[in-house]
């Protein structure tokens, strides 16, 4: 969307991601807050008197991976206390990095090459989760509130971009690319809808070339789609205020997905004084040079590099293939594709099956081993099963976890013999004389029509390649 | 009462641990009502632990260097299932579901945690008058305070209820009551003893340490509880220094500094005791040097910004949501306010407000930030002093034990009780208070020896020289 009358958006994003550690940031409790409420808790993450935090090594390692992937300077860092009272924060302060974060001053290149600066990517602990019962679901007017502390102390990394994005599309591309990076380095599952990745958007508008305007921070953005909607709504709102001669108040605004609007949550004047001070229960975090080097040396391939690698395998990449590659990389399905290519399967076939069938059951991916993926599409490629059967086998593996061989046997998936096919094709030619004439005259598009008819007649048991061969033979 | 060393030796040799615990139970029964030392004693459990020790010895095991010794625990140290109040209404009825590391270490050394002792609420005070459960009386003169904040732990040993006790020292809360009760009291190097399970007052200053009648007993207890703890990030990584082995090393060749700022303003009798100590150490072969460390005068001001600032954050969690007392309110904010208004005493509220103010936007640099700079100056000043001397000598407190109510109306006069002890906490160093001489009404006077981090072995050896000269043990 382009803005009217010479206005330009200025967007900076703060992205919180939960880290995929086995345990919490400062205690040994399982990092699994989907469990029964208040079962993954201990004196430390409940903030019981006398308990003390001890930093989780795995969380530091994942934070360093994020910093490396975002081209940040990894540095010795400290933790502060951010003080405010809230029932789901057991100590009534949050341990967070403040003036000296572990990762500073990096950048992220969007797929189109546009560079967004990363100011910092710092570590902090998550809070518990409050459920307000009765009335509105918000704290005011609730009859009672229940707090689940399973999430309390879960490690977070907050990634703060520079105010570098100028369109909602760039903001969307930034979050998509960042999510792909976080997933690729194993730091996050990248699920926005479930809240394991949360985005706050700082939005202001200005006339192109003018200094930055006053910004508003938008919270409660739970998907890429709402991010775009919220930013565009907010920019237009600010333009309207400014064009009517008003001024923008610096404030935090809440995005209402159903109404498609932002509204004031709190103004700058109402902002809390967090009384930050150095956390005396922790010592400075100073990863050894050896550890930093180890993490750098073992950093998994990043999305940009993977897209490049897959593109090179394809050769001439169409727009549709570029999208397929992007999907495969975003969902971290490249391992399937690369393994299949290594086993001799054509890259386009592997990409297509990964970006469609596997992507459609992404939550079930642990059911599908690389071997099963290769086994299925190799059978398809060698004509042992049809494309339709191959897709069904993949989906069945994803749902049930059975082996392709078992599924093929159970469903009786075999390619129809050429002789049987020839009879069926004769019938279809007889029923569609006009199309046959066009085919004989050399219209290449009609071949798809005949393949479709054959598939319908054989319930997908025909091999498309064989059908084409038979048709060509009959044309003479 | 037998010393801890004697009890442990005899128990390890087959004598009854139960007898030692029974003696403690009887002493508590005789005087606790009068003195208000213990807030909680579970005699049955302590006796059962003693029986278990006896059984282990009978089975040929060695329970450890404190076998069968009952140890009183300041009630800001968590013990599984045992009421822990910090002498505050806000924690009334709370029973921790876990043990402080020092409790585990005591048990590992064969000691028996024996009851929870009174303190100034959340360790904020110097007389134990700030307890929500009434003041503790000084066993040597019940019209006077035992000092504080670890007044109950000092009184437990002074009244011969237990041979040893644990306190915590944030600005002098072990050394000052030790001085006022005629005991040995130690503020160990920051990080030597795990703080895990010590309910925080000011995290960067708090340290658990021992009370005992003798330097030897104090050394046994400190050895038992010190050493690295993976549960405390600020715990020192190095192995704890060996103390008992060096108790009789003496002070020959040591440079001991007479520090003007550590006696200025003290009563005449107190200065006389410090002079006496100086002479004893000189006679034992130490070289006496005179030093002035003007930065020490800034300690009190810096302390009363840093400690309340940390406390304002540490005490935020007492909000009525998860544990302890709750007073209902219209909404969650009102509930928190009502709970904290009813639950905290006046001195705690004063410090929370002071600390919140010192950390607030617009005031941070002038108060908390400035105090941190002073703290750095003090660390540097100590470091220079320890270039010229191995240890510093001074008074522990300006006076002997004072009478109830004599300082409660003027917080500043109460705060001044800790003027000589606070600098050590700010520096994170070690110090020991040992009784030398008496003052007004025959009450004991404490002399303080200060050393750099991990200098406990030399400090204990010097304290032992003073103790012997006093004709004790």
Residue-wise pLDDT for A296-345, tens only, equals 999 999 999 999 999 898 888 888 888 899 889 988 899 999 999 998 88
3-state secondary structure of B72: strand
Window from A29-43, A453-467, B293-307 with minimum mean pLDDT: A453-467
Cβ atoms of residues A183 and A332 within 8 Å: yes
The third-level CATH classification (topology) of the domain covering A418-475 is Arc Repressor Mutant, subunit A (1.10.10)
Cα(B421)–Cα(B418) distance, integer angstroms = 5
Residue pair B450/B422 in contact (Cβ under 8 Å)? The answer is: no
Residue ranges covered by each domain of chain B: 4-245, 255-299+374-462, 301-365
**Contacting residues of B for A27, CB less than 8 Å apart:** none
**What is the chain B residue with the closest CA to A140?**
B331
Mean pLDDT of A8-14: 96
Q: In chain A, what are the domain boundaries?
A: 7-295, 301-411, 418-475
> According to DSSP H, which parts of A185-281 are helical?
224-243
Active-site residue, from B126, B131, B173, B226: B173
> What pLDDT score was predicted for residue A193?
83
Tokens at B318, concatenated: 């007492």
Q: How far apart are CA A453 and CA A434, in angstroms?
A: 14
Predicted confidence (pLDDT) at residue A140 exceeds the cutoff of 70: no
Q: Is B98 on the interface with A (CB under 8 A)?
A: yes
* Residue-averaged pLDDT of chain A: 90
Residues of A in contact with B356 (CB under 8 A): 275
Q: Which fold has domain B4-245?
A: Amidase signature (AS) enzymes (3.90.1300)
B173 is known as an active-site residue = yes
Cβ of B332 within 8 Å of Cβ of A49? The answer is no
Within 293-322 of B, beta carbons closer than 8 Å to A belong to 309-310, 312-313, 316-319, 321-322
Residues of chain A numbered 3-42 and touching chain B (CB < 8 Å): none
- In the set B126, B127, B131, B149, the catalytic residue is B149
Give A44→chain B minimum CA distance, Å: 10
pLDDT tens-digit readout, A163-198: 999 999 999 999 999 999 999 999 998 888 888 899
In chain A, which residues have their Cβ closer than 8 Å to the Cβ of B321? Answer: 87, 147
Residues B164-202: tens digit of each pLDDT: 999 999 999 999 999 999 999 999 999 999 999 999 999
A465: pLDDT strictly greater than 80:
no
Nearest CA to CA, how far is A99 from chain B (Å)? 14
Say yes or no: B196 contacts chain A, CB-CB below 8 A: yes
pLDDT of residue A417 exceeding 70, the answer is no
Q: What is the pLDDT of residues B313-360, one digit of tens each?
A: 999 999 999 999 999 998 889 999 999 999 999 999 999 999 999 999
Question: What pLDDT, in 10s, does the model give residues B241-280?
Answer: 899 999 999 999 999 999 999 999 999 999 999 999 999 9
Confidence of residue A135 (pLDDT cuts 50, 70, 90): low
Q: What was the pLDDT predicted at A444? A: 77
DSSP secondary structure string, A139-152? Answer: STT-SEEEEEGGGT
Average pLDDT of chain B is 96
Ranges assigned E (strand) in B388-429: 391-395
* Residue B25 clears pLDDT 90, i.e. is over it: yes
What pLDDT sits at residue A192?
A: 85
Select from B195, B323, B360 the Cβ nearest to the Cβ of A52.
B195
Tell me if chain A has a CB within 8 Å of the CB of B172.
no
Q: Which has the closest alpha carbon to B416: B305, B312, B309, B299?
A: B299
Mutation for testing the B interface, residue in A29, A45, A268, A275 having most B CBs under 10 Å: A275
Q: What is the pLDDT of residues A366-401, one digit of tens each?
A: 899 999 899 999 888 888 888 888 898 889 988 998
Contact assignment for B319 to A87 by CB distance below 8 Å: yes
What is the predicted pLDDT for the residue at B394?
A: 97
Distance CA A405, CA B251 (A): 85
Residue A191: predicted pLDDT: 86
Range with lowest mean pLDDT among A260-274, B95-109, B260-274, B301-315: A260-274
Q: Across the interface, which of B78, B323, B360 has its CB nearest the CB of A275?
A: B360
CA separation (Å) from B124 to A37, A280, B171, B349, B368?
36, 18, 9, 10, 19
Instruction: Name which of A46, A51, A280 is nearest B204 (Cβ-Cβ).
Output: A280
User: Three-state SS for B471?
Assistant: coil
Q: How far is CA A408 from CA A130, A368, A411, A413, in A?
A: 49, 15, 5, 5
What is the pLDDT confidence band of residue A454, given thresholds at 50, 70 and 90?
A: confident
Map tokens 């029973």 to a residue.
B95
Q: Which residues pair with B117 in a beta bridge?
A: B38, B74
Of A92, A139, A281, the CB nearest to B203: A281
Confidence label for A415 from pLDDT (cuts 50, 70 and 90)? low
Across A117-139, average pLDDT: 84
User: Among B223, B36, B222, which residue's Cα sits nearest to residue B115?
Assistant: B36
**CA-CA-CA-CA dihedral for A359, A364, A365, A367, to nearest 10:** -140
- In this complex, is the C-beta atom of A281 within 8 Å of any C-beta atom belonging to chain B? yes
Q: How far is CA B164 from CA A9, A89, B372, B460, in A?
A: 70, 38, 35, 16
Instruction: State the Cα–Cα distance between residues B314 and A341, nearest whole angstrom.
Output: 58
CB B334 within 8 A of CB B407: no
Q: Looking at the predicted structure, is the pLDDT value of residue A1 above 80?
A: no
Q: Which residue has the higher pLDDT, A407 or A67?
A: A67
The answer to whether A348 contacts chain B (CB < 8 Å) is: no
3-state helix, strand, coil in chain A (%, to 5): 40, 20, 40
pLDDT at A137 > cutoff 60: no
B100 in contact with chain A, both atoms CB, cutoff 8 A: yes
Query: Each residue of B195-235: pLDDT tens digit?
Result: 999 999 999 999 999 999 999 999 999 999 999 999 999 99
pLDDT of amino acid B376? 97
Task: Tell me which long-range contacts A410-414 makes (C-beta under 8 A, separation of at least 24).
Answer: A413/A385, A413/A386, A413/A389, A413/A461, A414/A384, A414/A385, A414/A461
Active site residue B149: yes
A17-A20-A26 Cα angle (round to 5)? 90
Among the listed residues A11, A186, A176, the one whose alpha carbon sits nearest the alpha carbon of residue A109? A176
Tens of pLDDT, residues B412-442: 778 888 999 999 999 999 999 999 999 999 9
DSSP per position, A386-433: -HHHHHHHHHHHHHH---HHHHHHHHT--PPPHHHHHHHHHHHHHH-H
B chain contacts of residue A87, beta-carbon cutoff 8 Å: 319, 321, 332
Q: What pLDDT score does B200 carry? A: 98
Tell me the C-alpha distance between A275 and A282, whole Å.
17
Is A25 a residue whose pLDDT tops 80?
Answer: yes
- Residue in B90, B316, B365 to test binding to A, most A beta-carbons within 10 Å: B316
Quote the percentage of chain B above a pLDDT of 90: 94
Kindly tell me if the per-residue pLDDT of A202 is higher than 70.
yes
**What is the rounded CA–CA span in Å between residue A79 and residue A281?**
9
Q: How confident is the model at residue A419 (pLDDT cuts 50, 70, 90)?
A: confident
The C-alpha of B179 sits at a distance from chain A's nearest C-alpha, in angstroms, of: 27
Q: How far apart are the first and last CA of chain A?
A: 54
CB B307 within 8 A of CB B429: no
What integer is the mean pLDDT of B30-37? 97
Chain B neighbors of A43, CB-CB under 8 A: 96-98
Check CB contact under 8 Å for A275 and B91: no
Q: How confident is the model at residue B454 (pLDDT cuts 50, 70, 90)?
A: very high
For residue B181, count CB atoms less than 10 angstroms from its CB and return exposed for 0-12, middle for 13-18, buried for 19 or more: buried
């Amino acid at each position: 969307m382009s803005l009217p009358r010479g206005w330009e958006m200025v967007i900076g994003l703060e992205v919180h991601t939960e880290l995929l550690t086995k345990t919490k940031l400062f205690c040994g409790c399982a990092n699994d807050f989907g469990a029964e409420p208040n079962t993954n808790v201990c004196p430390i993450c409940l903030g019981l008197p006398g308990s003390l935090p001890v930093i989780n090594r795995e969380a530091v390692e994942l934070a360093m991976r994020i910093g490396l992937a975002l081209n940040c300077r990894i540095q010795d860092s400290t933790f502060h206390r951010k003080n405010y009272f809230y029932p789901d924060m057991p100590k009534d302060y949050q341990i967070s990095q403040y003036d000296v974060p572990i990762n500073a001053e990096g950048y992220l290149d969007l797929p189109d090459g546009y560079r967004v600066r990363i100011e910092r990517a710092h570590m902090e602990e998550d809070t518990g989760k409050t459920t307000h019962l009765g009335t509105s679901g918000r704290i005011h007017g609730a009859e009672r509130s229940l707090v689940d502390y399973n999430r309390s102390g879960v490690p977070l990394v907050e990634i703060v971009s520079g105010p570098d994005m100028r369109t909602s599309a760039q903001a969307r591309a930034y979050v998509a690319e960042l999510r792909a990076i976080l997933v690729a380095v194993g730091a996050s599952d990248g699920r926005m809808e479930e809240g394991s990745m949360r985005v706050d958007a700082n939005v202001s508008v200005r006339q192109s070339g003018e200094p930055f305007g006053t910004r508003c921070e938008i919270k409660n953005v739970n998907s890429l789609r709402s991010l775009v909607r919220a930013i565009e709504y907010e920019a237009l709102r600010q333009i309207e205020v400014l064009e009517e001669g008003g001024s923008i108040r610096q404030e935090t605004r809440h995005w209402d997905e159903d109404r498609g609007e932002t509204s004031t949550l709190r103004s700058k004047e109402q902002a809390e004084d967090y009384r930050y001070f150095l956390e005396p229960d922790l010592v400075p975090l100073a990863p050894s040079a050896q550890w930093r080097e180890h993490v750098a040396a073992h950093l998994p391939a990043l999305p940009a590099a993977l897209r490049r690698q897959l593109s090179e395998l394809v050769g001439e990449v169409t727009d549709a293939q570029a999208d397929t590659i992007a999907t495969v990389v975003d969902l971290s399905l490249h391992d399937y594709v690369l393994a299949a290519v290594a086993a001799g399967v054509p890259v386009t076939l592997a990409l297509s099956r990964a970006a469609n069938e596997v992507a459609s059951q992404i939550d079930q991916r642990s059911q599908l081993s690389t071997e099963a993926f290769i086994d299925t599409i190799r059978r398809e490629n060698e004509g042992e099963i049809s494309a339709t059967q191959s897709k069904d086998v993949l989906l069945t593996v994803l749902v049930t976890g059975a082996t392709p061989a078992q599924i093929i046997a159970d469903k009786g998936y075999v390619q129809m013999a050429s002789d049987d096919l020839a009879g069926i094709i004769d019938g279809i030619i007889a029923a569609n004389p006009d199309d046959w004439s066009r085919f004989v005259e050399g219209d290449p598009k009609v071949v798809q029509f005949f393949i479709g008819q054959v598939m319908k007649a054989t319930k997908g048991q025909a091999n498309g390649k064989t059908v084409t061969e038979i048709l060509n033979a009959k044309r003479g | 009462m037998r010393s801890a060393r004697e009890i442990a030796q005899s128990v390890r040799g087959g004598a009854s641990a139960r007898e030692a615990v029974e003696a403690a139970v009887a002493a508590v029964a005789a005087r606790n009502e009068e003195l208000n030392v213990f807030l909680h004693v579970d005699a049955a459990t302590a006796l059962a632990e003693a029986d278990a020790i006896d059984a282990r010895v009978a089975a040929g095991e060695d329970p450890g260097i404190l076998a069968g010794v009952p140890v009183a625990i300041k009630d800001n140290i968590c013990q599984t299932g045992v009421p822990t109040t910090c002498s505050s209404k806000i924690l009334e009825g709370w029973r921790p579901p876990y043990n402080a590391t020092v409790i585990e270490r005591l048990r590992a050394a064969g000691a028996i945690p024996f009851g929870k002792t009174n303190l100034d609420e959340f360790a904020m005070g110097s007389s134990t008058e700030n307890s929500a459960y009434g003041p503790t009386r000084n066993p040597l003169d019940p019209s006077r305070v035992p000092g504080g904040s670890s007044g109950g732990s000092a009184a437990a040993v002074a009244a011969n209820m237990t041979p040893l006790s644990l306190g915590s020292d944030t600005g002098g809360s072990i050394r000052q009551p030790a001085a006022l009760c005629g005991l040995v009291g130690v503020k160990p190097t920051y990080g030597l003893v795990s703080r895990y399970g010590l309910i925080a007052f000011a995290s960067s200053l708090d340290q658990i340490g021992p009370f005992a009648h003798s330097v030897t007993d104090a050394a046994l207890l400190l050895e038992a509880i010190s050493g690295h703890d993976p549960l405390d990030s600020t715990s020192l990584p190095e192995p704890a220094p060996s103390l008992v082995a060096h108790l009789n090393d003496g002070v020959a060749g040591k440079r001991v500094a007479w520090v003007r700022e550590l006696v200025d303003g003290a009563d005449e009798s107190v200065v006389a005791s410090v002079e006496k100590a100086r002479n004893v150490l000189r006679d034992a072969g130490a070289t006496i040097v005179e030093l002035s460390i003007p930065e020490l005068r800034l300690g009190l001001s810096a302390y009363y910004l840093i400690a309340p600032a940390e406390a304002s954050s540490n005490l935020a969690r007492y909000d009525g949501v998860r544990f302890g007392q709750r007073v209902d309110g219209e909404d969650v904010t009102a509930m928190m306010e009502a709970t904290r208004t009813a639950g905290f005493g006046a001195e705690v509220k004063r410090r929370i407000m002071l600390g919140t103010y010192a950390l607030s936007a617009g005031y941070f640099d002038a108060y908390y930030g400035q105090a941190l700079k002073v703290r750095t100056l003090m660390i540097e000043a100590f470091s220079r002093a320890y270039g010229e001397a191995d240890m510093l000598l001074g008074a522990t407190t300006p006076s002997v034990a004072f009478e109830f109510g004599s300082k409660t109306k003027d917080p500043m006069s109460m705060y001044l009780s800790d003027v000589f002890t606070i600098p050590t906490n700010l520096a994170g160093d070690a110090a020991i208070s040992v009784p030398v001489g008496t003052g007004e009404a025959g009450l004991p006077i404490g002399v303080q020896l200060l050393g750099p981090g991990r200098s406990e072995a030399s400090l204990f050896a010097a304290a032992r020289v003073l103790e012997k000269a006093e004709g004790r043990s």
